[in-house]
């Protein structure tokens, strides 16, 4: 909801993305690897959430610890390790940072909506 259409655009030019797709499509190596790389290249036409969160840190909307907490949980989830059955001080800090991230994003959304 916060990302404008301009902010959703890739940092890469369409010309560069298409040129890379053409080069990889013509590669005669392993077909499975080629398809995997082409799928990754296809994702390059939109800015990632990770990149957008880093931009929000640079703007002062989020703190670096908020972005780190999100990234840590995202990577854990993507690798099948959602939560630990035993809480640690580090995990508690991460949860507080995630809650703060939600508060910061909500505040930004409200401020954007009032303009």
Q: Is residue 3 part of a domain?
A: no
Domain region containing 67 = 48-115
Closest CA to 102 of 58, 56, 48: 56
Per the domain annotation, does 98 fall within a domain? yes
Task: Examine the domain organization and report whether 56 and 80 are in the same domain.
Answer: yes
Kindly report the pTM of this predicted structure: 0.68
Shared domain check, 79 and 34: no
Question: Are residues 114 and 90 part of one domain?
Answer: yes
Q: Please, what is the average pLDDT of the chain?
A: 88
- The predicted model gives 6-31 an average pLDDT of 90
- Based on the fold, state whether residues 68 and 106 are members of the same structural domain: yes
77 vs 103, higher pLDDT:
103
Residues 46-72: b if buried by 16+ CB within 10 A, e if exposed: ebeeeebbeebbeeebbeebbbebbee
- Considering the domain boundaries, does residue 20 fall inside one? yes
| 5 found inside a domain | no
The answer to whether residue 14 sits within a structural domain is: yes
Range with lowest mean pLDDT among 1-10, 30-39, 55-64, 89-98 = 1-10
Show Cβ contacts of residue 101 under 8 Å, excluding neighbours closer than 6 positions.
62, 66, 67, 69, 70
66 in the same domain as 41: no
* Res. 82: pLDDT tops 80: no
Question: Are both 56 and 111 inside the same structural domain?
Answer: yes
Domain count, the chain: 2
Structure tokens at 51: 């990149």
């Amino acid at each position: 909801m916060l990302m404008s259409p301009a902010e959703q655009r890739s940092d890469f030019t369409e010309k560069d993305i298409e040129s890379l797709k053409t080069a990889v499509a013509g590669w005669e190596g392993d077909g499975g690897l080629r398809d995997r790389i082409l799928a990754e290249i296809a994702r390059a036409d939109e800015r990632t959430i990770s990149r957008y969160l880093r931009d929000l840190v640079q703007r002062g909307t989020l703190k670096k610890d908020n972005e780190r907490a999100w990234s840590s949980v995202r990577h854990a989830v993507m690798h099948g390790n959602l939560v630990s059955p035993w809480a640690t001080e580090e995990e508690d800090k991460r949860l507080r940072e995630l809650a703060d991230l939600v508060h910061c994003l909500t505040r930004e959304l409200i401020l954007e909506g009032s303009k």
